[in-house]
Amino acid sequence: MKQPIIITKINTNEEGISIFSEAIFDVNHRGGMFLTDQITAKNFRIRKSNVGYTTAFHLAGDATFIIILKGSLKIELQNGDAKIFNVGESFIAEDNLPESIAFNDKIHGHKASVIGDEPLEAIHIKL
């Protein structure tokens, strides 16, 4: 069945506030598989973070596709919205500000926390 692939995104609205949205990738049938068109990537890294690791509010900088391999990662926005990503789940972090807006950690960005009983392992693919 040819259904698009939908991935959660963290991006910014017109006021520069980080929000959750969705990226929709259409797929094409190809030899028994359903594939998206090619997506250009710059590089990738493998990440490990210990249980209890947390960040301050920050912006993504470069757009990054993150795939959870082990553990759970909670992403929180300034407005209180939060999502937990578990093994096999993914998201794209691409919240950023125009150069004309100065980052304020009380207004902008998202923060991440490793939750649960096991460390986080993830793949970060820079888009």
List pLDDT tens digits, range 7-45.
999 999 999 999 999 999 999 999 989 999 999 999 999
- Return the amino acid letter for 53: Y
What pLDDT sits at residue 1? 63
Which DSSP string corresponds to 48-104? EE-TT-B--SB--SS-EEEEEEESEEEEEETTS-EEEE-TT-EEEE-----TTS---
Q: Count CB neighbours of 80 within 10 A.
A: 6
What is the pLDDT, as a whole number, of residue 13? 94
Per-residue pLDDT of 61-110, as tens digits, reads 899 999 999 999 999 999 999 999 999 999 999 999 988 899 999 999 99
Place of tokens 């490990």: 48
Q: What is the pTM for the complete model shown?
A: 0.93
Q: Collapse the DSSP code of 38 into the 3-class scheme (helix H, G, I; strand E, B; otherwise coil) and give the result.
A: coil
- AA identity, residue 46: I
Token pair 């950690």 is found at 105
Q: What order do you get walking across the sheet with 72-77 strand by strand?
A: 82-85, 72-77, 110-115
